Chains A and B, each alone.
Chain A
Amino acid sequence: MNIPEELKYTKDHEWLKIEGDVCTIGITDFAQDHLTDVVFVELPEVGDRAEAGKTIATVESVKAVSDVFSPVTGEVVGVNEALPDEPEKVNEDPYGDGWMVKIKMENPAETEALLNAEEYEKHCESGD
């Protein structure tokens, strides 16, 4: 299982890449593996408001419909336009081409409570 060192994670299996006050969000390798083949991704629109803990996107595989929760509050400043036509990128490259949303954070301190790679790995192993 791939858990890049430099990213932050949530217990709901989202990852965050923080660059200044903007963070990029996607789902982890663990999550995509459990979902199996992703066939549909529903994304917000640029300008939408994101609220920490609320749904920001939906990921569907043939057998499941899963919410992606925003780990932070702020404004959606970018969405991965390639995903509606190529949802398989979420499986193929979850931390790269499979990214979902970019959010301009109102309160970057929100990210301090998130898991680091080591903590996230433990969380996955614990099976919670």
Chain B
Amino acid sequence: MSRIVIIGLGAGGFAAVLSARKTDRNAEIVVIDEKDYDLMHPCGIPYLIEGAIGSVGNLKHDLNLPGMRVAHYKNYRAMQIDRANKIVTSRNIFSGEDQDVSYDKLIISTGSIPVIPPVDGIKEFIGKGVFTAVDPEDAEHIRKMSRTAPCAVVLGAGAIGLEIASALSDNGCEVTVVEMLDHAFPKALDPDMAKLLHEYLEEKGIVLKMGSRVEGVQGGECLDKVIVDGEEVPCKFLILGAGARPNVELAKNAGIETGPLGIATDKSMLTSDKDIYAIGDCAQTYQMISGEPGIMPLSTVAYKQGTVAGASAAGADIAFPGIIGAFVSKVGEMEVASVGMNMEAAKKAGYEPVFGKIKDSSRPDWYPNGKEINLKVIVDKVSRKVLGAQAVGFSGAAWRINVVSASIYSGHTVDQLGEIELAYCPPVSQTYDALTKAADLAARKIR
């Protein structure tokens, strides 16, 4: 009987448990995890701050692990992997007691660690006004503060940063967003699409400082102000949404190969050790379109990789198809979604990208209350293949991006994307939908 050990119970680890159990009813499955509950939903944190989710308890989730015959080392941190003897040494984070856990197959799902920017004094204020927004208990605290403290700064204009910024603003806080690069969602959106989001956020009263850095933090007992571009910005709390780095230490110390982006894995999510898999935010995998190394810290990707690793560890032969990077974020009322490459990434990858772009309404103009939707489809001029798409608007960004995701997955040309039949009903969509229009416009440019 095979013994499968999973380090880390997030979206990826959970998927690995399910998939291993479905593949092998008899496998011995063991989970090692630090939390004192089973699963947490970090993507829900902004909505907890906003108040859409009642309490922190809604973001913590207990699984029926005993019912699935899964042994659970709760509150244990994996300290070291002895690959020669196939043992993971784990330590109880409260008692300090060590426990050796043996494995036949090991799945590393150690996730990522939030980046604390190198700003003088910032570490002293952690918990006293500076938050990383990965801990649901912090989120509860932030929610309370946002209703009483008048001003906040959010560092990083990615999904988590902007979702939180919008929530804080809705709660009555004066919010400033500081982003090092020159526009929001710099990896996903092109500047022209990000501009639409900038305008929306500024209309909401959020101050955006793009191409800027937090240079200092000041305060007494608690945070009082931050220094941005040499200017003082009053700030009772600072949220760090400046990204995360893959947590590869455990694997690295065990001599497992790491790449520039994370623990190196193959199509089965296997590492350089044939009995050890890595999945999720800590695992370097590859881009579906280009085949180049890639990493995509999204729970959807972690879940897919967990499914592959769990099944493989239990003896199945399945592969991860690579990452496309389909994602959606809801910032206030605005939906921002993208898939594949933006213009800059496509140029860097050696393509000759052209795009079709449309500003449209989600409904026919004769049906009331249509919502603005902006679509941009990016294709390669030479092969005519679909490389990516971006959607920014107030209705249906995700479904349109999901269609493009399927199209990229299928290796479609822009002409094929334009041929796809889409569902239509006046309150829902248009006869000639924004997505098809954008695809047609891109095709027109390379005819």
The answer to whether A40 and B441 have CB atoms under 8 Å apart is yes
Q: Tell whether A85 pairs with B358 under 8 Å between CB atoms, given A40-B441, A40-B444, A62-B437.
A: no
Question: CB-CB < 8 A to A40: which residues of B?
Answer: 441, 444
Q: Tell whether A39 pairs with B355 under 8 Å between CB atoms, given A62-B360, A84-B445.
A: no
Q: Does A29 contact B (CB under 8 A)?
A: no
The answer to whether A88 and B445 have CB atoms under 8 Å apart is no
The answer to whether B358 and A39 have CB atoms under 8 Å apart is yes
Question: CB-CB < 8 A to A88: which residues of B?
Answer: 359
Q: Give the distance in Å from the alpha carbon of A85 to the alpha carbon of B191 in the complex.
A: 13
Contact with B along A46-65 (1 / 0, CB 8 A): 00000000000000001000
Q: How large is the interface on A (under 10, 10 to 19, 20 to 34, 35 or more residues)?
A: under 10
Q: Does A75 contact B (CB under 8 A)?
A: no
| Chain A 42-90 interface residues, beta-carbon cutoff 8 Å to B | 62, 84-85, 88
Question: CB-CB < 8 A to B445: which residues of A?
Answer: 84
| Chain B 341-376 interface residues, beta-carbon cutoff 8 Å to A | 355, 357-360
Closest residue of chain A to B359, judged by CB?
Answer: A37
Question: CB-CB < 8 A to A62: which residues of B?
Answer: 358, 360, 432, 437
Contact with B along A28-41 (1 / 0, CB 8 A): 00000000010110
Q: Give the distance in Å from the alpha carbon of A37 to the alpha carbon of B441 in the complex.
A: 14
Question: CB-CB < 8 A to A37: which residues of B?
Answer: 359
Contact with A along B99-143 (1 / 0, CB 8 A): 000000000000000000000000000000000000000000000
Q: Give the distance in Å from the alpha carbon of A84 to the alpha carbon of B437 in the complex.
A: 15
B160 to chain A, nearest CB (A): 31
Q: Give the distance in Å from the alpha carbon of A88 to the alpha carbon of B360 in the complex.
A: 12
| Chain B 188-205 interface residues, beta-carbon cutoff 8 Å to A | none
Closest residue of chain A to B438, judged by CB?
Answer: A39
Closest residue of chain A to B361, judged by CB?
Answer: A62
Q: Give the distance in Å from the alpha carbon of A88 to the alpha carbon of B445 in the complex.
A: 16
Q: Give the distance in Å from the alpha carbon of A39 to the alpha carbon of B444 in the complex.
A: 11
Question: CB-CB < 8 A to B441: which residues of A?
Answer: 39-40
Question: CB-CB < 8 A to B432: which residues of A?
Answer: 62
**Could you show 14 A-B contacts with beta carbons less than 8 Å apart?**
A37-B359, A39-B357, A39-B358, A39-B437, A39-B441, A40-B441, A40-B444, A62-B358, A62-B360, A62-B432, A62-B437, A84-B445, A85-B355, A88-B359
Closest 9 CB pairs of A and B: A40-B441, A39-B358, A39-B441, A37-B359, A40-B444, A84-B445, A62-B437, A39-B437, A62-B360
9 additional A-B pairs beyond A37-B359, A39-B437, A62-B360, beta carbons within 8 Å, are: A39-B357, A39-B358, A39-B441, A40-B441, A40-B444, A62-B358, A62-B432, A85-B355, A88-B359
